[in-house]
Structure 1
Amino acid sequence: MTLQESGTAPEALPEPVPLMGCPYKSNPYPLYERMRETGPVHRVRFPSGVLAWLVTGYDAAHSALGDERLGKNHDRGNDRWRARASIMPEPQHSQLQVHLLHQDPPTHTRMRRFVTDAFTPRRIEQLRPRFQKLADTLVDALPETGPADLVTGFAARFPFQVLAEVIGLPDELAARFDRDWGKVVQPVGPADPGRPLYEARLHGLQSYIAEVVAHKREHWADDLLSRLVVAHDRRELSQEELDSMIFQLLVAGQEPVTNQITTALIALFRHPAELARLRDNPELMPRAVDELLRYDSAFELTTWRFFDQDSDLHGTEVPAGDSVIISLCAANRDPRRFPDPDTLDLDRSPNPHLAFGHGIHFCPGAALARAELQIALGTLLTRLLGAHLAIDDGDIEWIPAVLGRGTNHLPVGYDRRV
């Protein structure tokens, strides 16, 4: 039931609405409901001090994701945004931030064609047996009885192992990847005391990418990484585009799936009847994964978008160069599109959620992510008998990332491993 249906007037929202703090990160949905009830577009403030315009309703989000007026290139950002945005420092910003998420056509179109073949549904299905073997090997290494941290023991490792298989990252380099490098997508401002550590991670990742490129140049194979290096050598990609695309693959191809495994498990632990039903009826898994993606998406908010001139956005005047963010989580709980949106319904159909975006920036790895989630959840639920959350629900520490949802630790109890 929405606030309007209950007859309760929506509580006045602050201006701008602060998107920060533990209560918000642990459960942003009551705030998103209030925002949807008062309009589709709101002025918001992020922890860095950046002011942005947040789109919340499903129809408005779907429209904004496909709005050709909204560009992704950071060059469109105005001085107000640039002064506060915690983006990468130079020269790394120019060297690692020209990937697909920050490009507009025709550059986006040219670059995206290099990656799509690696992530086709047909290829992903062919690789499923290998993915299943990776998942089983990780579960084999867990303690015979719980508790165990399913982030460090599984969720933080499985997606990267799968990704390495898909893109052609050799074992010796994959073993040396530091997951902490992935935290460079959670940048901190220049005055933040955590900035030196952030920049150290950035330099470490940049050096690693250079090693990957050098290795692939010397040991060519029929894989995505090799094809990207060849495209650069043929002058079809610049050095910055090559490094940025590898950066995006390594980070965006892992961390969101790690987080989505945790949000899905938490949702199931909170709904034990649904967990048991899914465990006992594996044929439900494809539909269940889409519902779990809708119910609590690891990609909570999109990255920046900008108008190149003052523009109307669903009745709100947005100045040129101000950042526009779309709340995928708020859109996916919109009662105007999803009946009983706060209910976890593993039979929900149709389920046109926006967890993977929409339009030209629809996630090219969507088929891979679905397969990973299906295999991860199916393996964990069937092999860890009696799995349950081993801490109080209120003690879950949600990551403080601005755009994403998940947890770095998920202690899970279980009777035995089979």
Structure 2
Amino acid sequence: MTQNPDLPQPFDSAHFADPYATYERLRKDAPVHHTRLPDGTDVWLVLSESDVRAGLTDPRLSVNKAHAGNGYKGFSLPPALDANLLNIDPDDHLRLRRLVSKAFTPRYVEGMRQRIEDASEQRANAFAERLKADGSVDLIAAFANPLPVALIGDLLAVPEADRDAFSGWVTAMLDPASSGELVAAIGHIHRFLLDLVAARRAEPGDDLLSELIAARDEGDRLSEDELVSLAFLILMAGSENTQHVISSGILVLLSHPDQLAALRADPGLMPGAVEELLRYVNPNQMAIRRFPTEPVAIGGVTVPAGDTVLLCLAAAHRDPARYPDPDRFDIHREDKTHLALGQGMHYCLGAALARMQLQSAIATLIHRFPELALASPADELAWRTSFRSHALKELPVRLAQ
């Protein structure tokens, strides 16, 4: 455990207000710390960019919980939600990835550009009406949440009436107010996806879920649990992460008016700005946990087989050994590389789609609403109290007078 009383304790109340400061002080002391999560799980926290990057592609660090030697259970998801790409090593990972990869190729996503831009404009119209009527609006509820949920919902043909409920259950699962809320959220998600698969099996359509069902029923290329779990991963990851980069990204831009002005003046800077936002405010603090299949040397310590390893993306993205002046937000930064979308085999399947959504959403907001301003001081905004995700709960905005 981290015993030095002069060091900050990760995952306490002070940590959630500014996790980057905690990681910086810990990393200066040592690149790897043995510490404890809020749920009591002992973990090895890896903090240097070089060690995190290497760990993401180290075949000895398995994502399969079968290799956990300390009883790690995570969310304790049912098999129908847990048999997804985040929890599977090769060769099953490659088999499942091939089944869904054609829906996320750059060429396929490019064909969705107009649809994405239209969706951004439509959501901006609704957002403008809310601003006009109420004066102050939560940007997350009115824009950042519903936009990616709608786009991913269309990809899987999720009924529009069910999309907000699903998004709410995912939020409750990732940042529950109690253990009871966590269990209830997982139960709702499980039942919803089982019903969705049953409905699409009865009436197939021209959508990704129907294609996955056909692969299951006709080719027997994935199990029923893998089918449901793939739908869960696509819906959750495709909406959850994008909406938080949109909201945190707008907060960062409003807090850096010089950068915002430069971005408005030169739309060609948007792709680089999104990459910098993914480095600077990526909501995922950690990569999916790993379990060494044999003793592994990381950052000068030997991690025993079966222990839980957390590769801290947030710390890696603020490591001065990789990024000059890492706490400075700079859309002109030359080094555009980051680990927000993963590395190696587990590189984000929907990376091209996520980038296009982020570019479209942020461009729409900053150009449609040049007078957009925070309606509450930045230091009074509420953040999730989760070691997994650093994400805003609300972002009240208004139009400056």
Describe how 1:2-401 pairs up with structure 2 within 5 A: 13-14=4-5, 18-78=9-69, 80-82=70-72, 85-88=73-76, 92-142=77-127, 143-145=130-132, 146-165=135-154, 167-172=155-160, 174-175=162-163, 177-183=165-171, 185-186=173-174, 194-233=178-217, 234-401=219-386
**What RMSD in Å do the two structures reach over aligned CA positions?**
2.2
Contact 2:9 2:22 in 1 (8 A): no
Q: Following the alignment from structure 2 to structure 1, what is the Cα–Cα distance between the partners of residues 265 and 275?
A: 18
Q: Following the alignment from structure 1 to structure 2, what is the Cα–Cα distance between the partners of residues 18 and 76?
A: 28
- Report the AA paired with residue 26 of structure 1: A
What TM-score results when the alignment is normalised by the length of structure 2? 0.93
CA distance change for structure 1 residues 38 and 210 in 2, over 3 Å: closer, same or farther?
A: same
Secondary structure of residue in 1 paired with 2:33: strand
Identical positions, percent: 34
Contact 2:8 2:22 in 1 (8 A): no
**CA-CA distance at 1:398 after TM superposition:** 0.5
Secondary structure of residue in 1 paired with 2:45: strand
Contact 1:19 1:47 in 2 (8 A): no
Contact 1:186 1:402 in 2 (8 A): no
**CA-CA distance at 1:122 after TM superposition:** 1.5
- Report the AA paired with residue 390 of structure 1: A
- Report the AA paired with residue 285 of structure 2: E
Contact 2:241 2:284 in 1 (8 A): yes
Higher helix share: 2
- Report the AA paired with residue 162 of structure 1: L
Contact 2:209 2:231 in 1 (8 A): yes
**CA-CA distance at 1:124 after TM superposition:** 1.3
Secondary structure of residue in 2 paired with 1:385: coil
> Deviation string for 1:258-293 (max 9, x for gaps)?
111122112112211111221222111001000111
Q: Following the alignment from structure 2 to structure 1, what is the Cα–Cα distance between the partners of residues 330 and 290?
A: 32
Secondary structure of residue in 2 paired with 1:113: helix
Q: Which runs of 5+ in 2 are unaligned?
A: none
What TM-score results when the alignment is normalised by the length of structure 1? 0.89
Q: Following the alignment from structure 1 to structure 2, what is the Cα–Cα distance between the partners of residues 244 and 232?
A: 13
Contact 2:131 2:137 in 1 (8 A): no
**CA-CA distance at 1:214 after TM superposition:** 1.6
- Report the AA paired with residue 178 of structure 1: F
Q: Which runs of 5+ in 1 are unaligned?
A: 1-10
CA distance change for structure 1 residues 279 and 363 in 2, over 3 Å: closer, same or farther?
A: same
- Bigger drift between 119-128 and 34-43 goes to 34-43
CA distance change for structure 1 residues 184 and 247 in 2, over 3 Å: closer, same or farther?
A: farther
- Bigger drift between 32-41 and 357-366 goes to 32-41
CA distance change for structure 1 residues 174 and 335 in 2, over 3 Å: closer, same or farther?
A: same
Contact 2:55 2:61 in 1 (8 A): yes
Secondary structure of residue in 2 paired with 1:317: strand
**CA-CA distance at 1:184 after TM superposition:** 5.7
Contact 2:215 2:221 in 1 (8 A): yes
State the number of aligned residues.
Answer: 395
Q: Following the alignment from structure 2 to structure 1, what is the Cα–Cα distance between the partners of residues 206 and 228?
A: 19
Contact 1:303 1:325 in 2 (8 A): yes
